[in-house]
Structure 1
């Protein structure tokens, strides 16, 4: 049965449903440009770009894609860049010709790219020059017919930047054989054909992270993307005078939805960082008076750990939130102490183009996924029987809503297996174990496939990590399963220490501390200190990589 308890805590003055517009993602840019042509759309390392300037370059690039590269409607195009004006212009140019954006993680290897190109039936790519070395072997193998290469430095102004530019932004433009330079693709007299895009056009195919298996392409139409674009704007009451700090990677659904699509829909300004830099971010907040910042917990942890933070005026911030990984309670408390703001957490997946759940901004709860967003039916089912569960019972989260993807590309069996029909509605099985409190707020327990079975007891790594973050020495933690002859599996914690505790606290002291904080079967029997943990470029810790290392070392 659909839960309604959360409506008692719904954002004030906001309707419970939002009608999804029939317009497209490209239409959003076109309409915002008509409304605010001279308004700053992007601040990028010392240079400002108006909506009209961005729109003009989108039209130019779209014309080149159509007239010179012969990109066809419905064609899948690889977008392989870090955050930059180029990424934004490329994305909208692809949509302008009714092609499909396939954004790929910049940390991907050549082998990864070969998989994506083959799986996604891709012929053309837009690539930034620091990543072209990964693409070149595939170009030579004939897997790509055309590649446009962009140089970030062409859009930056070092003399006006707030600090040192990242190396890839400062690097001068290079030329590569058998490629089209960005400058050629946007400097010509060509005009694109009239735009005829429709709501049901496939627009976006993000790939799942692959942390639980082979990456799968999630097919999204303009409609499903619009559902969350509009939802995000109304949930946090965005206005054209909002200034967003765009630090989450735009290839990722949370970043592109909340730090690009939502701001463009309303006509806000985006302060874009190509690489995460906590000092540059703080200067940007102070200089541009950033009001909204959607991030990931690892990014916020680093930001708050900055010993120079008190030197910056970050008082303009009105909303700080994010998703992807649960924010430790201790970090949330620190954020409130520093800014007076409560962290507004959300939850979503590639299959739902970001959020299905969001905390009400006026009443968020820490370490909480939030409540179901507009028109979302979220339920919890028993992982074995499929029976619906009630409040305070652990089970798998399933969701139904307008932001659901259409299918996994070319994988009908996987698509079918990932859904269940209840009450005549098709629900997506998220694979996440959650609970719901009496007020209708949802809380993550862990990934279904990440559970540790210690002597028959279920141990959820996220819960153990959350408690470890309460120790003042712990900056970051990742808990995995380690083989154990007696218990079958046991708990191991990889930990990054705060700088002032390095050399002053031992692994054993952490274990002894943990004994007093959690049940005997839960506390880590093994602790390993690291200077860094493997992460995706979207800031998620690659727990499976650490898990594999642990098994091999056993």
Structure 2
């Protein structure tokens, strides 16, 4: 298969590598290897199945999966028939999954057998017609390495669903020929914040993914010899970009379902990992582990990281370099609306405290907060705006929000930053009210809507507060109905929220109040609550 000038959807690169290096490992998952030929063939077979179930170009398929080979197989299968990938966090509870699946108008969903009860409960409220389940067991060796606790769970055969393993063994592998407009057709919808705080689906094209993937591979010098550690969630845009880079270059992905310092160190040594993407607490946990001094890290040449939960300092980077022989650097600044990585750090030009320089083909400007159309000179702080070929088409079914964020090809980020005389971008904070907990985006209204479902709650307001471990955590201010004021405690509400929300999202603190600050029109004044919290 010819790639012509390389201006093709990413699954064309998968097909190319399957032809020129069919037996090369595309994915290694706890000792289970998927070759490029198998990945291409299995995704073709799953694409045929989806097509047979009426999934057509422009339809959306939701993926409710953790890191596992099935996620990657499904991702490329969906895009091969021109359908749209709708990733849902594996940490979602019922209400969260229902919201996204309904908003996506998803016709099908792929989920882990362990997650099926959640899907079953939301399915009647959605447009879902087809449910495909899968088991870790189908893609694990008899003895996983490193240890994988979920390997002890037996596979569940669930009536009225389709089994992914059976599909890829039995279906035709002649994928339907679908005409894809790389510049215009939507390939992916990922959820991000908007001015109201509720998650909004950012529509990204095949070309958006190609531009960011190709650019990142170039800046980082990635090629087919690289073995990349994938421990960040691939349902999120940063983890997904790492997956795409490996498939684009023909490298190998060593995939872990979750982080543990022992597992990461073992696979680095065993598989001779050359590139890794982490968050700073991961690196610190490895450095503090007694096993770290016995591990051979010499294969590692590249480790980009993100300051979630802990700020990367030059001191931490030097400690990492002393242990591994490679520099630890702040990876990038970016948004879901731009397929992430707008300013990127090259390992050759690390400047601590910054998020690197604009990616080739990317323009970044800083605008005055008082005069939003006025560009500020270098060194001055203002709103970051971004323009590049990775910019999204808009928010799904939300033209007003799209018009506010996307103007003349520029994404108005709502983030505060500055650019120095060398062109390095400093990210200084968020103008929006989004909360960043352990690297996950939390939208205040999202949490408030769930809290307000409690039978004893009248209303609530949510803000982010500093957390030494998570970077930020959620604090909620809650007003109870009069008859429950003496019966319901903050601790009880926290436990209730923990059962109803993803682990990164539920409030760690709840303060009971008799009223909440509001404007004359009744709008919550979260900023007033946040301001008082800062001066405590």
Per the alignment, residue 353 of structure 1 pairs with: 339
User: What are the superposed Cα offsets for residues 165-206 of structure 1, whole Å, 9 maximum, x if unpaired?
Assistant: 132x44221022221112232222434323433313210111
Report the alpha carbon displacement of residue 162 of structure 1 after superposing the two structures with TM. Answer: 2.5
2:327 and 2:295 mapped to 1: Cα distance?
A: 19
1:241 and 1:114 mapped to 2: Cα distance?
A: 41
- SS state at 2:62 partner: strand
C-alpha distance 125-411 of structure 1, shift in aligned 2 (>3 A): same
2:115 and 2:392 mapped to 1: Cα distance?
A: 29
Per the alignment, residue 183 of structure 1 pairs with: 165
Normalised by the size of structure 2, how large is the TM-score?
0.79
- 17, 38, 46: which one pairs with 1:61? 46
1:286/1:314 contact within 8 Å kept: yes
2:429 and 2:82 mapped to 1: Cα distance?
A: 38
- SS state at 1:207 partner: strand
Per the alignment, residue 383 of structure 2 pairs with: 396
- 267, 277, 302: which one pairs with 1:294? 277
Report the alpha carbon displacement of residue 360 of structure 1 after superposing the two structures with TM. Answer: 2.1
1:248/1:538 contact within 8 Å kept: no
Residue 273, structure 1, aligned to residue 256, structure 2: yes
With 209-218 and 248-257 compared, the bigger mean Cα shift is at 209-218
2:292 and 2:129 mapped to 1: Cα distance?
A: 48
C-alpha distance 548-427 of structure 1, shift in aligned 2 (>3 A): farther
- SS state at 1:398 partner: strand
Per the alignment, residue 322 of structure 2 pairs with: 337
2:224 and 2:46 mapped to 1: Cα distance?
A: 26
| Matching of residues 185-224 of structure 1 within 5 Å | 185-190=167-172, 191-199=174-182, 200-208=184-192, 213-224=197-208
User: What are the superposed Cα offsets for residues 106-127 of structure 1, whole Å, 9 maximum, x if unpaired?
Assistant: 1111111111122111111111
- 359, 368, 378: which one pairs with 1:382? 368
- SS state at 2:317 partner: helix
Per the alignment, residue 267 of structure 2 pairs with: 284
Report the alpha carbon displacement of residue 545 of structure 1 after superposing the two structures with TM. Answer: 4.2
Report the alpha carbon displacement of residue 289 of structure 1 after superposing the two structures with TM. Answer: 0.3
1:170 and 1:549 mapped to 2: Cα distance?
A: 41
Per the alignment, residue 457 of structure 2 pairs with: none
For structure 1, the 5+ residue unaligned runs are: 1-18, 452-460, 466-474, 477-489, 498-533
- SS state at 1:106 partner: coil
| Matching of residues 412-431 of structure 1 within 5 Å | 412-421=399-408, 426-431=409-414
Normalised by the size of structure 1, how large is the TM-score?
0.76
User: What are the superposed Cα offsets for residues 354-387 of structure 1, whole Å, 9 maximum, x if unpaired?
Assistant: 2101112201112311100011010101122112
C-alpha distance 417-547 of structure 1, shift in aligned 2 (>3 A): farther
1:393/1:436 contact within 8 Å kept: yes
C-alpha distance 74-549 of structure 1, shift in aligned 2 (>3 A): farther
With 72-81 and 338-347 compared, the bigger mean Cα shift is at 338-347
Report the alpha carbon displacement of residue 153 of structure 1 after superposing the two structures with TM. Answer: 1.4
With 335-344 and 28-37 compared, the bigger mean Cα shift is at 335-344
Report the alpha carbon displacement of residue 299 of structure 1 after superposing the two structures with TM. Answer: 2.7
Report the alpha carbon displacement of residue 141 of structure 1 after superposing the two structures with TM. Answer: 4.5
1:547 and 1:442 mapped to 2: Cα distance?
A: 33
1:280 and 1:492 mapped to 2: Cα distance?
A: 31
Residue 225, structure 1, aligned to residue 209, structure 2: yes
C-alpha distance 323-351 of structure 1, shift in aligned 2 (>3 A): farther
Measured on the aligned residues, the alpha-carbon RMSD in Å equals 3.1
Report the alpha carbon displacement of residue 70 of structure 1 after superposing the two structures with TM. Answer: 1.5
C-alpha distance 58-245 of structure 1, shift in aligned 2 (>3 A): same
User: What are the superposed Cα offsets for residues 219-253 of structure 1, whole Å, 9 maximum, x if unpaired?
Assistant: 01101110001011111111111000010110011
Count the aligned residue pairs: 455
